[in-house]
A and B are shown apart, each in its own frame.
Chain A
Amino acid sequence: DGGITQSPKYLFRKEGQNVTLSCEQNLNHDAMYWYRQDPGQGLRLIYYSQIVNDFQKGDIAEGYSVSREKKESFPLTVTSAQKNPTAFYLCASIGQGDQPQHFGDGTRLSIL
């Protein structure tokens, strides 16, 4: 079955620590996205990538970094510069622009 796999499901970050959230897809989709969701709010775009080796900042990119070295993988690093990282992080992909986004199950990040 094709889909998007995010890991881990739960993640805890210590002060001053960088953490990396994994996102892998086997849907052969070109475009991939990272969103942040805070309680009671919608999805806010962090970064997106339309093709391998290319990515663009979304609306809230500060304190985050990404890479897209392979079509299947789009990891997100939450750096120590992100002072309020506690949130639900969702990875998504699209095959074509008029198709719905396929989402992973999400990673819940908390501060220790």
Chain B
Amino acid sequence: GQNIDQPTEMTATEGAIVQINCTYQTSGFNGLFWYQQHAGEAPTFLSYNVLDGLEEKGRFSSFLSRSKGYSYLLLKELQMKDSASYLCAVINTGGFKTIFGAGTRLFVKA
């Protein structure tokens, strides 16, 4: 079967660092995306990993280990506007079908 697991909710403090984990079991792998989704809005692209290792983009970094079926999204210097859901998504082999996790709702408190 195909499965993507993420924690349901996390809470962190403004200015802190938070790590959101994602584990996946999919029939084929062609890359992993992280999206941010504010309530009632469409997801927006944050990061893409296809090779093992860390990808850094400003306050956001994403890590991938294909052998472990594991990724994380790291958010630094948290701001109140980072309160949102974060979706982990895997593209299967062939590249046209994306499987989404249920998302992690992050609450940033002052």
Contacts and interface: CB of A to CB of B under 8 A. Distances in A.
Interface in A33-48: 33, 35, 40-45, 48
A45 B2 CA distance: 13
Interface stretch (B55-63, B67-75, B76-84, B88-96): B88-96
B33 A42 contact: no
B94 A97 contact: yes
B62 to A, nearest CB: 12
Interface residues of A, number: 24
B30 interface: yes
B21 interface: no
Given A43-B87, A100-B48, A94 B42 contact: no
Report which residue of B30, B42, B98 has the largest number of chain A beta carbons within 10 angstroms of its beta carbon: B42
Given A103-B42, A103-B43, A106-B41, A97 B91 contact: yes
A62 B33 CA distance: 27
A108 to B, nearest CB: 8
Report which residue of A33, A42, A90, A103 has the largest number of chain B beta carbons within 10 angstroms of its beta carbon: A42
B45 A94 contact: no
A12 B16 CA distance: 42
Nearest to B9: A40
6 residue pairs, one from A and one from B, having the closest CB atoms: A97-B95, A103-B42, A100-B45, A42-B102, A43-B100, A42-B100
Interface of A: 31, 33, 35, 40-45, 48, 50, 88, 90, 94, 96-98, 100-101, 103-106, 108
8 contacts: A42-B4, A43-B100, A44-B100, A94-B96, A97-B95, A100-B45, A100-B48, A101-B98
Given A105-B42, A106-B40, 16 more contacts: A40-B102, A43-B43, A45-B97, A45-B99, A90-B43, A94-B96, A96-B95, A98-B91, A98-B95, A100-B33, A101-B45, A101-B98, A103-B43, A105-B41, A106-B41, A108-B40
